[in-house]
Structure 1
Amino acid sequence: MKSDVGFDFFNRKIQNQHLLSDINVSKDGLYAAFTVKSPIKSSNETETNVWLSFKKSMPAPLSRLSENHSISLPRWSPSGDQLAVAMQGHVSSGYTSIGIYSAPLFNFKEIATIPGSIEDLFWMPENLSILALVAETGSDSVVTSGSQRSASLEDIDLPVTTRIDSGKRHLCEINFDSKEPYFFGPKQGTIWEFENFDENSIAAIWSNDVTESGWYDSSVVFVDRHSGDIKTFYKPSWQISSITKNPLKNQIALVEGWASDRGTVCGEIKVIEIASGEVLTIKSFGVDVSKVRWRSRDSVWFTGWQNLSGAWGWVKIDGEVGELHLDDLQASSTNFQSSPENTVLDQAIWSISAPREFESPEIIVGASGSKLTQWKRISKFGLENQEKVPNFKTDLLRWSSSDGRKIEGLLVYDPNSRTQLSPLVIYIHGGPASLWTYSLRPEVLLLLSEGYAVLLPNPRGSVGRGQEFARANLGDASGAEVADIILGIAECAKYIAIDESKVSVVGGSYGGYLAACAATMTDQIRCAVVMYGHPNLLSARFGSNNPAFYDKLMKGAPTLANSHEYLMRSPLMRVSSSSAPTLILHGKEDRCCPVSQAEEFYRALIDKGVSSELIIFPGEGHGLHGSLAKSECWVQILSWLDKHSDTVNV
């Protein structure tokens, strides 16, 4: 590694990388609460607290009740004078508490302690009770949080028993009079999301299979609040999320589309008429929608992606677009409110920024009703000192793939060195139903500081360009999507001088799979880095916690008759003595892509005499979330790239 300045800045960024989420605004609009997850310096641990802004002022954290608890999921009461939160022990005890702050928000009382982990809270009308979505001990966290199995401290050294109903999620109501949690359902299966429908039932996204795999085949159901019985109302063709009830009509809206992971659905808006069961698809308006909320009787707010930009606005259910804005924001984070009286006024829009200049995400406030939104930054979580950011330029590239399909990507480079030969790193995103945007990650800056140019391709399978494009790689894993990426090299050469003999590829998760494909199925890669990937599709399908993902990716579950198709598209089976030298990095506790995937690929490489190293991070799940793990990961990556690319720092 040649640039201490670049790595110092990278370390400072990840040590100061706050994860902002769960913006919740009080009914009168005076208060906004949100969750902040922050790294604890010099450790792999994090701490979580709720922060509060009054009248769009600089936010401050709520007073911590205990240093041993993480506080999250802020939810304002319908009256707007109480704030409910969930409190989880740093070292899980297998229980979560619910507490309420009452106006003026320094009065606090704990109302219940519940076995399991609370994933959502919802105030019932009249401020008399709260609904909680509770995941039992033994459930897996969502992939964006590491995809790790939860375990209580008392059980951590005991044998783990898995049964067909292990780790289910169910609904619990806490009445303020009795304060006793009442678990009412579902009788079978698991709840992934919910919305109160009426005094007798809950509308929910539900699957009979309680594992992460079950989510891929979820349905919309009504759960009886008294008996826990399930009534299926809508069985979608694809994955669903963001269920929301129209407060003025007997309708439900949601997002439906192909999604590779829970929590990342992008697609079309569906409106379900409860009385008739009719399902209306709002005609496409150029946005892969990720979140929807009712705005008025006949219109909905939305956020999502259009090409490489975050998009938000509102659309009538007949398809007429009222507002469509393209802004640098995190698409699923925006907070909207409905108008109960169907009189829609311009309102404040709270969101989280996705800045382009390697700055940290911040809480921002804008307003609907204007052609150009003027965003005001409310928070200041980023670093004070940004002067050490190297000079860089980002160009949007477009090129034709092997079948003529147009592919887009971003080329990030030092404009002062565009005429000098630069080693190129292709950095492939995961998913595959994800995307690169203009909001660049800190590791891209690190690569720039080391003298690399970086290509961020969005091959077929990425979101932001409609569902046909997002589904274009289904049934063709390792096929045209690899050509999409490799053909981007020649396009880069039109913008900067690159040494095409020194092209490296880096990828994580599905991007790790594609990096392994490039290393074993093409001859244009000098070296590769595979982070928490799944290079053996057949064993990954049976060893992961989400086999349904592979069934949908491959358009069918493996059988004796078709298992060869899984193997032919597995880079593990394509390793030869001419495969590119490969560094493999993986979290030991990863349930989405088990660590055995890394071990299998390493064995296949060394069996063929290919230079390879395997690094396993204890305690880490999918994505290597700890700041120390991230730092060490990129130390090893840079060392590997430098070793095989002979870079010259410029």
Structure 2
Amino acid sequence: MMSKRSVTIDDLHSVKLVADPNISPDGSRIAYVVTTVDKEANGYRSALWMASADGGAEPFQFTGGHAKDANPRWSPDGAHLAFLSNRNETNQIYVMAADGGEAWQVTSGPNAVSEFTWSPDSQSFVFVTKIEPEEKPESDTKVISTLRHKFDGEGFWDGNHRHIFRVGIQGGDPDQLTDGDWDSTQPTLAPDGSQLSFVSNRSDDRNSNSKSDVWVMDIPDGEPARVTPEDGVYGAPAWSPDGSRLAYAGNPVVEPYGPTTLADLYVWEPESDEHRRLLVNLDREPGNSAISDSRYGVPAAFPTWTSDGNAVLSLLSDSGSIHVYTCPMDGQPQPFSEGARDIQSFTRANDGTVVFAASTFSNPTEVFVVSPNGTETRITHTNDRFLEDVELGEIEEVHYESDPGVQVHGWLVKPPNLNPDAKYPAIIQIHGGPHGMYGVGFFHEMQVLAGRGYVVLMTNPRGSTGYGQEWVAGTLSDWGGADYRDVVAGVPFLESLSYVDPERVGITGGSYGGYITNWAIGQTDRFKAAVTMRSTCNRLSLYGTSDLNAMYNDWEFGGSPYDNAAFYLERSPLTYVKNMRTPLLILHSENDLRCPISQGEELFVALKKMGQEVEFVRFPDESHGLSRAGQPVHRVERLERICGWFDKYL
């Protein structure tokens, strides 16, 4: 028997990314997506796969080629499977018979289709795409007149809005259902096909806020009516089986918690105009807010009704785990499954069979089925061969004290075959957000570091999701306060472990995690090395250069910098650059519009002027999401530079 090896950086090419399982209406078959890294093309390929829901047959690849086929969706009658594919450059809708055969292209507009759904009679689709301008601009200059004018990963706004169209299953000219100086997205049709629900921000100041509302209209040409109160972020509408009610998710953006107000699941009854809250006593938010580098093509989360209309199924994030919960109209929500797992999406058949995609610390994402009687079956074993070859680091769930009485939750990732009598260097990892969380899913980067001999502490400080309202709001007007204390309290915790060398502790994080990394090395010299990624250092200059900061930072920092400049500077790591003595590696993407590369430039120049040990690495043609979906060659180099820096200084 061959000995196992540790996980390596090059295993980025080995892990196959499973996502988006959809079960056929009769509960017999599952279509899902497998994405692989194409090393030669420096990109990704996605194909549809098919499996039997009873696990009795070996899954097989359903589509092939060099394109990205994704978003498989069964027709309500089960006769066809539709999906999105970029096989002709831009994502368009394709359809094929449920039993296989040649797929035909349904849409062919100049712009990509971003989302679609079947009509109840299986004869047409409603879909979302950008409106093509009547006249092409003659100049290539950008004329900007709105506060919201760019978005990371997309670039500068081209002035064209997304709207909803309808097209027959055989294609042809689509009918436009929505219009106006706003986007209309997330279309869903009532069970009788007579009404369309969708999401749109039509507020008067829509270009300077991040609000969204659920709307309903009779089709084809009814007047849209707003369902939600125009005071927050609402979306993911889902009609009840009889069409009498509409479920949706969201939250108001109001005092005292602003955008950190926990989202809820709502059920709207048109006759009474009542909006019933289903999670009011749970203190957890719907959806999956976990962060991972081993996902690709995870669909947006929508609530799903039970066949009798008495409950709604939804993902909920709780202390690092994500489960499907059954949320009854009256009563307490209950998890559909148990254990530490990261469920990323699910669908439900007419007979109540549920299929979901889930991963754990020790297993990348696979597909599972829960029968109506509650029996769970694992359907796929896509990454078994990879796991047979590697020795993963052991994971230990931990809690440690920060402020008196405050317990911080996290996980230790230990080197494989750890020798308790040895002394290992340690690294504290800080997630982005801050309103996200480290979860219990597979994380390639953490296993790479553990495989190189590091003890990794993944921590969820105040500001993280999954721990209730007060915890997630813990950073409001206090970035670098309680959250920093939660992170730095990890140092004495690590020092208390007999196998950790207290003289070799590093720190790293990306986005908000990069902010805290920068902040920490300006407040303490307890870290021997640091790596900051896609970070911020100057909250004053960031406000006017980021794609989103002007939309929400007033809540996070107690007002705008024009009214509160002193506080913005007080909580900017750059203010404390003269205190920074820790060797720092700065990694930044040149096309990052969320935390622009100027933030990395400012910090690099300041540290060089101070004569400190610093290195600045710029990744061309990459956005804020480099670590999760960037070019594979750059993702590999990023990990090589992180490991190289810590190897040098720890």
Q: Tell me which of 108, 115, 127 is aligned to 1:113.
A: 108
Q: Tell me which of 498, 505, 527 is aligned to 1:496.
A: 498
SS at match of 1:425: strand
Superposed, 1:114-153 pairs within 5 Å as 114-135=109-130, 147-149=152-154
Are residues 1:578 and 2:580 paired? yes
Q: Which segment drifts farther, 247-256 or 506-515?
A: 247-256
- Structure 2: how far apart are the matches of 1:168 and 1:604? 41
Partner of 1:525: 527
Give the conservation status (yes or no) of the 8 Å contact 1:111–1:176: yes
Distance 1:311 1:552, change over 3 A: farther
Partner of 1:10: 8
Are residues 1:232 and 2:226 paired? yes
Are residues 1:174 and 2:178 paired? no
- Structure 1: how far apart are the matches of 2:420 and 2:469? 36
Displacement after TM superposition at 1:512 (Å): 1.5
Q: Tell me which of 309, 312, 336 is aligned to 1:300.
A: 312
Distance 1:215 1:17, change over 3 A: farther
Partner of 2:411: 410
Partner of 2:353: 348
Q: Counterpart amino acid of 1:221?
A: W
Displacement after TM superposition at 1:103 (Å): 4.0
Superposed, 1:185-204 pairs within 5 Å as 185-197=178-190, 199-204=193-198
- Structure 2: how far apart are the matches of 1:244 and 1:214? 28
Partner of 1:618: 620
Displacement after TM superposition at 1:148 (Å): 1.4
SS at match of 1:126: coil
Q: Counterpart amino acid of 1:630?
A: R
- Structure 1: how far apart are the matches of 2:590 and 2:222? 38
Displacement after TM superposition at 1:640 (Å): 0.9
- Structure 2: how far apart are the matches of 1:375 and 1:212? 46
Partner of 2:324: 312
* Aligned residue-pair number: 601
Displacement after TM superposition at 1:546 (Å): 1.7
Distance 1:517 1:257, change over 3 A: farther
CA deviation string 1:516-537 (max 9, x = no partner): 1112233322221111122222
Q: Which segment drifts farther, 220-229 or 577-586?
A: 220-229
Partner of 1:398: 399
Distance 1:520 1:406, change over 3 A: same
CA deviation string 1:128-168 (max 9, x = no partner): 21011224699xxxxxxx94126xxxxxxxxx7x56xx253
User: Deviating runs (4+, > 6 A) in structure 1?
Assistant: 209-215
Query: What is the percentage of aligned positions where both structures have the same residue?
Result: 23
Displacement after TM superposition at 1:333 (Å): 1.1
Superposed, 1:465-484 pairs within 5 Å as 465-484=467-486
CA deviation string 1:478-518 (max 9, x = no partner): 21101001112222333334333322111112211221111
Q: Counterpart amino acid of 1:293?
A: T
Distance 1:616 1:303, change over 3 A: same
Distance 1:332 1:416, change over 3 A: closer
Q: Counterpart amino acid of 2:198?
A: A
Give the conservation status (yes or no) of the 8 Å contact 1:419–1:497: yes
Q: TM-score, normalised by structure 1?
A: 0.84
Superposed, 1:146-161 pairs within 5 Å as 147-149=152-154
Displacement after TM superposition at 1:175 (Å): 2.4
Give the conservation status (yes or no) of the 8 Å contact 1:366–1:375: yes
Are residues 1:367 and 2:367 paired? no
Q: Tell me which of 449, 457, 460 is aligned to 1:458.
A: 460
- Structure 2: how far apart are the matches of 1:316 and 1:179? 42
Give the conservation status (yes or no) of the 8 Å contact 2:396–2:412: yes
- Structure 1: how far apart are the matches of 2:473 and 2:583? 31
- Structure 2: how far apart are the matches of 1:258 and 1:603? 41
Distance 1:629 1:215, change over 3 A: farther
Displacement after TM superposition at 1:96 (Å): 3.5
SS at match of 1:468: helix
Partner of 2:200: 206
Distance 1:114 1:529, change over 3 A: same
- Structure 2: how far apart are the matches of 1:488 and 1:257? 32
Structure 1 stretches lacking a partner, 5+ long: 139-145, 151-159, 340-344, 646-650
SS at match of 1:216: coil
SS at match of 2:515: helix
Partner of 2:95: 100
Displacement after TM superposition at 1:419 (Å): 3.8
- Structure 2: how far apart are the matches of 1:209 and 1:117? 26
Q: Tell me which of 599, 603, 606 is aligned to 2:605.
A: 603
Partner of 1:19: 17
Superposed, 1:270-349 pairs within 5 Å as 270-282=266-278, 283-285=280-282, 287-290=284-287, 291=301, 292-295=303-306, 296-321=308-333, 323-337=335-349, 347-349=352-354
Q: Tell me which of 536, 545, 548 is aligned to 1:546.
A: 548
Displacement after TM superposition at 1:109 (Å): 2.1
Q: TM-score, normalised by structure 2?
A: 0.84
Partner of 2:144: none
Q: Counterpart amino acid of 2:493?
A: E
Superposed, 1:375-386 pairs within 5 Å as 375-384=377-386, 386=388
Give the conservation status (yes or no) of the 8 Å contact 2:212–2:235: no
Displacement after TM superposition at 1:101 (Å): 0.4
Structure 2 stretches lacking a partner, 5+ long: 134-150, 254-259, 288-300
CA deviation string 1:190-219 (max 9, x = no partner): 134232236454212212489998783111
Q: Which segment drifts farther, 269-278 or 455-464?
A: 269-278
Give the conservation status (yes or no) of the 8 Å contact 1:258–1:470: no
Displacement after TM superposition at 1:173 (Å): 0.9
Distance 1:389 1:285, change over 3 A: same
Partner of 2:62: 62
Partner of 1:156: none
- CA RMSD between the two structures: 3.1
